[in-house]
Amino acid sequence: MTPAIARPDAVARARWAESAVLRDRPALAELVHAAADVRTRAYAPYSGFAVGAALRTISGRVYCGVNVENASYPVSCCAERSAVCAAISAGERQFEAIAIVTDAATPAAPCGLCRQTLCEFGLDLHVILASAAGAVWSAPLRDLLPAAFTPDSFEPRPGRTGPGSAADGDREGQPASVLTEQPRS
Ligand SMILES: [Zn+2]
């Protein structure tokens, strides 16, 4: 049987509260606590590495996710992407912060796949990493994913005017590289 995943103790929570990242920022502290709470529901029987994530929208709603592992390892889903899927499924598109809690000694950063998923919705996202031992670290997503490939990487972007836009018939939505006509030989 998988052992129960404990919430961070009072000592860890006091360290969070005293950290430069969370001190006098109750909304962010609440987000970290939400991630710590949902982490207890992680499904990580293979790695034993439970992760909780809490994603706050610009309207203040919070959507949570945990890592969900699978006997077929690559099928597993990270907590960050679980939270994004929950938020998008609820109709949300604009996010301001995500808190991620693990029990790593040093707060664990999102994997590359999750950084790419998050950057789809904006590189200004405030990423807060917290450990169950009480350490906290934060950075904007753009610092975690330099030279990111984003929706703005499409030129012209799907939906804009110009070649590939809705006004250009059935080629709508294709990246510019697909739209470039090759010279005839
Ligand atoms: Zn990930």
pLDDT top residue among 154 and 67 = 67
Burial of 1 (0-12, 13-18, 19+ CB in 10 A): exposed
Domain ranges of the chain: 10-144, 147-177
Q: How far is the CA of 109 from the centre of ligand 1 (A)?
A: 9
Q: Which fold, 10-144?
A: Cytidine Deaminase; domain 2 (3.40.140)
Task: Tell me which of 80, 120, 155, 172 is the catalytic residue.
Answer: 80
pLDDT tens digit sequence for 11-66: 999 999 999 999 999 999 999 999 999 999 999 999 999 999 999 999 999 999 99
- Residue 36 alpha carbon to ligand 1 centre in Å: 17
Which amino acid does the sequence have at 55? L
Question: 120 falls in which pLDDT band (50, 70, 90)?
Answer: very high
Residue 22, Cα to own-chain centre: how many angstroms?
Answer: 19
Is 80 assigned a catalytic role? yes
Q: What is the pTM of this model?
A: 0.83
Please give the distance of CA 147 from its chain centroid, rounded to a whole number. 17
Contact 67, 50 (CB under 8 A): yes
Give the distance (Å) from ligand 1 centre to CA of residue 1: 25
